[in-house]
Amino acid sequence: MADIQTNLTIEPELEEKYYIVKNAEEQYSIWPSYKQIPNGWQTVESEPKPKSKCLAYIEDVWIDMRPLSLRKQMELLSQEQNNTCSE
């Protein structure tokens, strides 16, 4: 009986590609390139990339997981508290 080897590596050109997407709250995600980008999300880069590269990009740029509206609200509250303390 002949030995059968299974090649589990995926050729780079056949690997599924993803878009890096961001919403209005500056939250990031990845989206399969063969699907339409959902409403409320925009692509960050024009070309889809392998999943690992998308995730590495997101890890580098998304350093504050809080939604933008929460960050702004917390910053405003902090400024108000600083103004109250300095009076």
Residue 5 lies in a domain: no
Predicted pLDDT at 2: 53
Q: pTM, whole model, 2 decimals?
A: 0.74
- Burial letters for 31-47: b for 16+ Cβ neighbours within 10 Å, e otherwise? beeeeeeeeebeeeeee
Residue 58 lies in a domain: yes
Residue 3 lies in a domain: no
Our count of domains for the chain comes to 1
Residue 82 lies in a domain: no
Residue 1 lies in a domain: no
pLDDT tens over the chain, length 87 residues: 455 555 556 566 678 999 999 999 999 999 999 999 999 999 999 999 999 999 999 999 999 999 999 999 999 998 888 877 766
Residue 53 lies in a domain: yes
Residue 21 lies in a domain: yes
CATH number at residue 37: 3.90.820.10
Predicted pLDDT at 38: 96
Domain that holds residue 27: 14-76
